[in-house]
Amino acid sequence: MPPSSLGTALAFHDVSKRYGRTWALARLTYALPAGRSLLLTGHNGSGKTTLLRLVATALSPTAGQLQVLGRDSVTERDAVRREVGLLSHASFLYEDLSAHQNLVVLGRLLGLESPEDAAHALLTKVGLTRRSDSPVRHFSAGMRKRLAIGRLLMKKPALALLDEPFGELDPAGIRDMEGFIAELKAAGVTVVLATHLIEQGMTLCEERLHLQDGRAVAA
């Protein structure tokens, strides 16, 4: 039987994912307690992004069972998606809309009472107030990353998945990102952080899972 989901944010039981003849993940069994933060490490191609996409329900396991926040990632996909926030290489931003409009659209989809006010507050938090009315297509990579974290914070997820969140950020941006992650943790959000900056990751996370060729190994 799969590991108990009581008090568990993530429960992998013999989870495998195959692309053609290549196994990106192979028989992974692992459990992460709710409210803990996980540092996910491994070289490029080790399976980190595949793992995050499985948790975000963008992919389904080839074999095994994955429970996210006590729900089956396949049969209860929509419920899982409502509780999970993903910061990935793809920003999922509307290029022709301004930063403010991007957040207002999300706020309305989430059913917020005052999405305009929430958008303004978040743009201030992520340091984009001066560019709030600029179309996203004119943003630098670092500015896009700041707006993407604003989207994630607006959703208020129970589980936050962060795929290389420090990439494309200057030193000030990295410090801000560390602050955002600390804020999520303080709010009781379970955080999964995939990064090559291991020393920084270890200061932010209590748990560590190291992948090699799709398998969990000792770091």
Interval 30-85: pLDDT, tens:
999 999 999 999 998 899 999 999 999 999 999 999 999 999 999 999 999 999 99
The domain limits of the chain are 8-217
What mean pLDDT comes out for the span 121-147?
94
Q: How far apart are CA 77 and CA 4, in angstroms?
A: 19
Residue 1 has pLDDT above 50, yes or no: no
Tell me how far CA of residue 26 lies from CA of 29, 88, 211, 217, in angstroms.
9, 23, 10, 12
**113: which DSSP letter?**
S
| Architecture of the 8-217 domain | 3-Layer(aba) Sandwich (3.40)
> 194-209 pLDDT, tens per residue?
998 898 899 999 999 9
Task: Name residues whose C-beta falls within 8 Å of residue 117's C-beta, 6 or more positions apart in sequence.
Answer: none
